[in-house]
Amino acid sequence: MQPVVELKDVDVAFGSIHVLEDITLTVEEKDFLGLLGPNGAGKTTLLKVVAGLLRPYHGTVKLFGEDIAKSTLRSKIMIGYVPQRITLQSQNFPTTVYEIVATGRISRENTFKRLTEEDHQKIEDALRFVGLYELKSRMAGELSGGQLQRIFIARALAGEPSLLIMDEPTSGIDIGSQVAFHSLLDRLNKEQGLTIMMTSHDIGAMSHMCTKVACVNKKLFFHGLTEDLFRGDILSKVYGYHVHPIFHEEHLM
């Protein structure tokens, strides 16, 4: 089976600061890969490299076997991307929930064209999936952080992505919303077979949700099945100090 993501010998630097070094990583279809690592470890950079927002100065990045540095790939393969901080530039951005989710159907291929009936159907389906269809006419600035996060997930899903990339989607969200959110991701991965890459600082939640885990701190320290994460002292090496995860029942779904 063709891997969804293949990173080979990827190095990324901002000026003279090396953020990622020698990253070789493969994400298979239907994987739910959790990216773990301390602040500043390069997790967000890694996701941006996969999303095509940053280019490595060395190494190759392939999506579905094709080099993303080349040509029209991104217009063919839809990536659902949920960034770390959703601010809408300002809380006064005058847009509705529906208008935001509709952007998930926009690609280079439908430039000059109006959205079709099918597009509108997919937008409504995505809103129903995240349980916020009733809020479709609501102004985005009137939503809570948790609702806004789900709206941007719906936006990503409306494009029927082959790969969903999420950067700390549960940061700043209360525990109740996090549990609902984790259940949503579980359905996407297990029921719909969607390949997911996600960063988080919640090691406990990641260990229950993700099928695989990658630990990054400039370099790749571990990449494998989630159950193998707690063997040895991998986490201590990644974080640079002793880490002893404590699991909470809320995360057991």
Partner 1 sequence: MVLDILAYDFMQRALLAAIIVAITAPVVGVFMVLRRLSLMGETLSHITFAGVSLGVFLNIFPLWSALVATVLGSMGIAKIRQSARLSGDAALAVFFALGLGGGIVLLSLSRNVAVSLSSILFGSVLLVGWEDIFVISGTSIFTLGTVFLFYKEMFYVTLDEDLAKVSGLPVNWFNYLLSILAAIMIVAAMRVVGILMVSAMSVIPTLASMQLSRSFRQTIFLAMFLAVISVFLGMFIAFYAAVPPGGTIVLTTVSIFFLTVAAKTMRRKPNVKTS
Q: For residues 59 and 10, is the Cβ–Cβ distance under 8 A? A: yes
In angstroms, rounded to a whole number, what is the distance separating the alpha carbons of residues 166 and 189? 13
Interaction between residue 71 and partner 1 (CB under 8 A): no
Using the rule CB under 8 A, which residue among 26, 60, 96, 226 binds partner 1? Answer: 96
Using the rule CB under 8 A, which residue among 95, 121, 192, 236 binds partner 1? Answer: 95
Using the rule CB under 8 A, which residue among 67, 134, 174, 233 binds partner 1? Answer: 174
Q: How far is the CB of 155 from partner 1 (least distance, A)?
A: 8
Interaction between residue 196 and partner 1 (CB under 8 A): no
> How many positions of this chain bind partner 1 (CB under 8 A)?
41
In this complex, which beta carbon is closest to partner 1, that of residue 159 or of residue 169? Answer: 159
Using the rule CB under 8 A, which residue among 24, 57, 69, 75 binds partner 1? Answer: 75
Q: List alpha helices for 60-202, DSSP H.
A: 73-76, 97-102, 117-129, 145-158, 175-190
In angstroms, rounded to a whole number, what is the distance separating the alpha carbons of residues 50 and 86? 19
Half-sphere exposure of 108 (CA within 13 A, CB side): 9
Least Cα distance to 2 among 62, 78, 69 occurs for 62
In this complex, which beta carbon is closest to partner 1, that of residue 127 or of residue 220? Answer: 127
Interaction between residue 39 and partner 1 (CB under 8 A): no
Q: Which stretch binds partner 1 (CB under 8 A): 9-17, 22-30, 174-182, 190-198?
A: 174-182
In angstroms, rounded to a whole number, what is the distance separating the alpha carbons of residues 178 and 248? 13
Token pair for residue 53? 């927002």
Interaction between residue 93 and partner 1 (CB under 8 A): yes
Q: For residues 1 and 28, is the Cβ–Cβ distance under 8 A? A: yes
Token pair for residue 161? 């992505």
Using the rule CB under 8 A, which residue among 10, 33, 100, 205 binds partner 1? Answer: 100
Interaction between residue 37 and partner 1 (CB under 8 A): no
Torsion of CA 233, 235, 237, 241, to 10 degrees: -100
Interaction between residue 112 and partner 1 (CB under 8 A): yes
Interaction between residue 134 and partner 1 (CB under 8 A): no
Interaction between residue 144 and partner 1 (CB under 8 A): yes
State the distance between the two ends of the chain, measured CA to CA, in whole angstroms: 29
- Phi, psi (deg, nearest 5) at residue 5: -130, 135
Residues that bind partner 1 (CB under 8 A): 51-53, 72, 74-75, 78-79, 81, 83, 88-89, 92-96, 99-100, 102-103, 106-108, 111-112, 114-115, 137, 139, 142-144, 146-147, 155, 159, 173-174, 176-177
